[in-house]
Amino acid sequence: MSRGGRLIAVGISGLLVGLALNQSFIPGTSSGTLNGFAPPDAFDILPGWLLASVGPYVVHISRSMSTWFLPSFVRLADLSIFNVWTGHVILALNHHGIADLLADGPKSAEELAEATGTDPQNLFRLLRVAVNAGVFSASNDRTAGGRPVFANNALSTLMQVDHPSAMHAALQTTGLDAAGSWVQLSTSLSSGQVPFHAAYGQSLWEHLSAHPDKEKTFTRSMAASEGGGALSVASQLDCSQYGTLVDVGGASGSLLAEVLDRHSNLHGILFDLPQVSMRSRTTWAQEHPHLINRTQIFGGSFLEPDSIPVIEESECPRPAYLLRFILHDWDTPWALKILRNVRQAMQAGPCHSTATLIIIDQVLKDDFQWELPQKLLMDINMWATVGGQERTLSEWQSLLAEAGFGMPHVQSTQGYNSIITTRLQDQLQKR
């Protein structure tokens, strides 16, 4: 590092130490009060487009800055071991519902252990790691002889079961239930087997259908993908020109409901596997009774021809088919099959000349060095859990062209995902 760089590093360290000594800046701790370090959410103070464009660079610069303060071997151990362990500590606390138990006020490890039937000393050890990492806060309860008590902070609150971010479900399903997939990465790299299959002996979809509780959690976790509204894709999806929106593989319809709420003239069709649709009929009636007369729910498989609903004449004009987080679940041959089945449903309808395909998924940068690490990791997660992949723009263009769709229009959203729209190639050629 240059002399100037070192001076800046020393200056920043001094500032951090000063703030820490002031006891107001150490993540997860506080002096006397129970309000742990709760940074404002970046999305509350900066516009989404700025975060989306500048975010990756800030993340990379701050990561490389950490090598100024840590020896290289610690940095490598952080990346490969300590961060994984920290993740497991948070997943264990999430699994035992600690954030919910703290909803009505601070508690000691002993009280939490009693409520969860866990070991108080080990629970205390997990909590101190989590607090140190900035999840939950702690303070000494002076009325109880200096015993530490724990409380929620901005991050741990997200782990409450009913929090709209659905992070409790996401940590449980993507984090804990699928953790075995990641352990299999090294062997699957040689064997070619999908890591989830190697770990659990069946595909994720087979596993979920054999475990209805896990399927329910997985379906709920889908709502987490947009940060519980902060990054809501529904607010960025303009459906004012469509008459009917078919949500293909729409799970419980959390996105469809939000879109229908925003567009009072739009009709919705929710389509997913039969067992998912059966459950959605019940939950939809309970959660969105005001939308019942504008929605139909069908079960089937998008892998089968003639299964995806065809929009009838009465539902014209301008039908749209939505695939959110579907195509990244599948490798290219399967993604092509799904797209061709969607194309067949679009062509079978009387309004095919105006039918639009909307895909919501990630579009990776070709220059991966400046891509957000979360997006590249999600690409690995897709392979690890379902044998799928995220795609670059050129990969999207060739996939869509091969399936009979025209050149896509790509709109970035405030989150990690993009809205990709296109029409049937033969209809575009007629214009």
Ligand X SMILES: C[S@@+](CC[C@H](N)C(=O)[O-])C[C@H]1O[C@@H](n2cnc3c(N)ncnc32)[C@H](O)[C@@H]1O
Residue 89 or 270 with smaller CB distance to ligand X = 270
Q: Which stretch binds ligand X (CB under 6 A): 7-15, 320-328, 340-348, 409-417?
A: 320-328
CB of 167 to ligand X, least distance (A): 15
272 forms part of the interface with ligand X (CB under 6 A): yes
Q: Which stretch binds ligand X (CB under 6 A): 70-78, 80-88, 301-309, 363-371?
A: 301-309
Task: Find the binder of ligand X among 325, 383, 405, 416 (CB under 6 A).
Answer: 325
209 forms part of the interface with ligand X (CB under 6 A): no
Q: Which stretch binds ligand X (CB under 6 A): 4-12, 25-33, 148-156, 271-279?
A: 271-279
Residue 21, classified by CB atoms within 10 Å of its CB into exposed (0-12), middle (13-18) or buried (19+), is exposed
Number of residues in contact with ligand X, rule: CB under 6 A? 16
Residue 249 or 406 with smaller CB distance to ligand X = 249
The angle subtended at Cα 212 by Cα 330 and Cα 92, nearest 5°, is: 85
Residue 332 or 425 with smaller CB distance to ligand X = 332
Residue 195 or 250 with smaller CB distance to ligand X = 250
**Cis (ω within 30 of 0) for the bond into 317?**
yes
The angle subtended at Cα 100 by Cα 97 and Cα 105, nearest 5°, is: 135
Task: Find the binder of ligand X among 124, 196, 242, 302 (CB under 6 A).
Answer: 302
Task: Find the binder of ligand X among 138, 198, 231, 273 (CB under 6 A).
Answer: 273
* Subset of residues 100 to 129 that bind ligand X, contact rule: CB under 6 A: none
Query: How far apart are alpha carbons 234 and 258 in whole angstroms?
Result: 6
Q: Which stretch binds ligand X (CB under 6 A): 40-48, 74-82, 150-158, 272-280?
A: 272-280
The H-assigned helical ranges of 34-95 are: 42-45, 48-69, 72-77, 83-95
Residue 255 or 358 with smaller CB distance to ligand X = 255
Task: Find the binder of ligand X among 205, 337, 376, 393 (CB under 6 A).
Answer: 205
The H-assigned helical ranges of 185-330 are: 185-191, 195-200, 204-210, 212-221, 254-262, 274-287
* Subset of residues 392 to 421 that bind ligand X, contact rule: CB under 6 A: none
The angle subtended at Cα 412 by Cα 407 and Cα 413, nearest 5°, is: 140
Residue 156 or 252 with smaller CB distance to ligand X = 252
Going by C-beta distance under 8 Å and a sequence separation of 6 or more, which residues neighbour residue 349? 310, 311, 312, 316, 319, 355
- Element of type H or E holding 137: strand 137-141
Q: Name residue, tokens 């782990």.
A: 159
Cβ-contact 336, 305 below 8 angstroms: no
Binding mask 226-265 for ligand X (x = CB under 6 A): -----------------------xxx---x----------
Kindly state the tokens that stand for 236: 């960025």
Residue 93 or 379 with smaller CB distance to ligand X = 379
345 forms part of the interface with ligand X (CB under 6 A): no
Strand partners, 108: 149
Task: Find the binder of ligand X among 276, 310, 363, 403 (CB under 6 A).
Answer: 276
Cβ-contact 274, 339 below 8 angstroms: no
Rg of the chain over CA atoms, in angstroms? 24
387 forms part of the interface with ligand X (CB under 6 A): no
Residue 307 or 347 with smaller CB distance to ligand X = 307
The angle subtended at Cα 8 by Cα 4 and Cα 9, nearest 5°, is: 115
Q: Could you give the 3-state DSSP secondary structure of residue 390? A: coil
Residue 207 or 423 with smaller CB distance to ligand X = 207
CB of 409 to ligand X, least distance (A): 20
Residue 13 or 275 with smaller CB distance to ligand X = 275
Query: How far apart are alpha carbons 332 and 431 in whole angstroms?
Result: 29
Residue 239 or 251 with smaller CB distance to ligand X = 251
Query: How far apart are alpha carbons 277 and 57 in whole angstroms?
Result: 41
Q: Which stretch binds ligand X (CB under 6 A): 22-30, 110-118, 296-304, 393-401?
A: 296-304
326 forms part of the interface with ligand X (CB under 6 A): yes
320 forms part of the interface with ligand X (CB under 6 A): no
Query: How far apart are alpha carbons 350 and 299 in whole angstroms?
Result: 22
Strands 267-272, 363-364: parallel, antiparallel or unpaired by DSSP?
unpaired
Strand partners, 423: 356
324 forms part of the interface with ligand X (CB under 6 A): yes
CB atoms within 10 A of CB 34: 17
Q: Give the interface with ligand X as residue ranges (CB under 6 A).
A: 205, 222, 249-251, 255, 272-273, 276, 301-303, 324-326, 329
